[in-house]
Amino acid sequence: MKKILLGFAFLFGFSQTQAQENNLQLKGTVVDTVVNYVYLQKFHNKMFTTIDSVKVKDGNFSFKTKVKTPELYGLSVNTESSPLYIFLEKSPITVKLNPKKYYSNSVVEGSASQDLFETYKKSKDVEISKFITENPNSIVSAYVLYRNWSYRLSPEQIRQNIALLDKTQQNTTYVKELKDLALVLDGLAVGKKAPDFTANNPEGKPIRFYENLKGYTLVDFWASWCGPCRRENPNIVAAYKEFHDKGFNIVGISLDKKKENWIKGIQDDNLTWLHVSDLLFWNSAVAKLYGIRAIPGNYLVDSNGIIVAKNLQGEELQSTLKSLLEKKI
């Protein structure tokens, strides 16, 4: 693994420069399906927003859009589904866009950053600090630190890894957001006071968090579209049934986009506690307030709003509640 990554750093790393606005030289063919349009999408906060589209002619398409490069974008034939993740650069890029199997058989040529990204995705047991050290001036290093590692690291670890990045990456959107995240997480350590918030319940009524603090409260971040969340929900339901009468409560914060999906998820999983959401997906104000970069995620707070534990799942949730509720609340 080390030799492979060093090779990519040697071949591609030193060509990286700070992002600049350039007219794309992006062309390609759509294979294994017939579509009318291909959409170019901008990545931000785990979401893609369409910024341009071109008509497909005889299976071919071409973009000359002026965009910031190098940076991550998406190519899609359907704006309702996840796109092909593609790192665009100033150089000419050719794509064989295959929408089937989540674009997994698509081929991108001409982007050094994309080549490194594909190598990263195929690698196992990646050490993020080593990866950054071997590719310090690649936008890919800044991106994967932001996208794949921010929720695994402490604030200090985030800052340590940022420091490994070349100066060409220090002003990227990814690094700026990582620095902001580290500041937020500083205030969310065990022993700190959980932030107050107000958000609407499914009936549209504003609910203030601090007005519902009693006993121990789990601030639970989830969404109906989140498979791991739905698989964890039976464990949370079991904990609620066992410990609610002893002083355990839950406030569920959903990162859903559609109200009907949110409500159906609550009903289907028998989540019989307080729920709120602003239905803004990863732009959720409460998720940002709590530094949530992955779900399921949670904070357990006491009746004074003090954080006593974080990210409790499975047996750990049950054992923690048993230990706490044996004590005088």
- Sequence ranges of the chain with CATH classification 2.60.40: 21-110
How far is residue 212's CA from residue 2's CA, in Å, rounded to a whole number? 51
- Residues 100, 129: Cα–Cα separation, whole Å: 34
CA 250, CA 174: separation in Å to the nearest integer?
Answer: 32
CATH for the stretch 21-110: 2.60.40
Characterize 31-62 residue by residue with b for buried, 16 or more Cβ atoms within 10 angstroms of its Cβ, and e for exposed: eeeebeebbbbbbebeebeeebbbebeeeebe
- Which ranges of the chain does DSSP label H, i.e. alpha helix? 2-12, 112-122, 128-134, 139-144, 155-164, 173-186, 227-243, 259-268, 285-289, 315-325
What local confidence, expressed as pLDDT, does residue 74 receive? Answer: 98
Domain 192-326 fold is Glutaredoxin (3.40.30)
In this prediction, residue 7 carries a pLDDT of 42
329 residues of the chain, pLDDT tens digit each:
333 343 444 444 444 445 688 899 999 999 988 999 999 999 999 999 999 999 999 999 999 999 999 999 999 999 999 999 999 999 999 999 999 999 999 999 999 999 999 999 999 999 999 999 999 999 999 999 999 999 999 999 999 999 999 999 999 999 999 999 999 999 999 999 999 999 999 999 999 999 999 999 999 999 999 999 999 999 999 999 999 999 999 999 999 999 999 999 999 999 999 999 999 999 999 999 999 999 999 999 999 999 999 999 999 999 999 999 976 54
CATH 3.40.30.10 positions along the chain are: 192-326
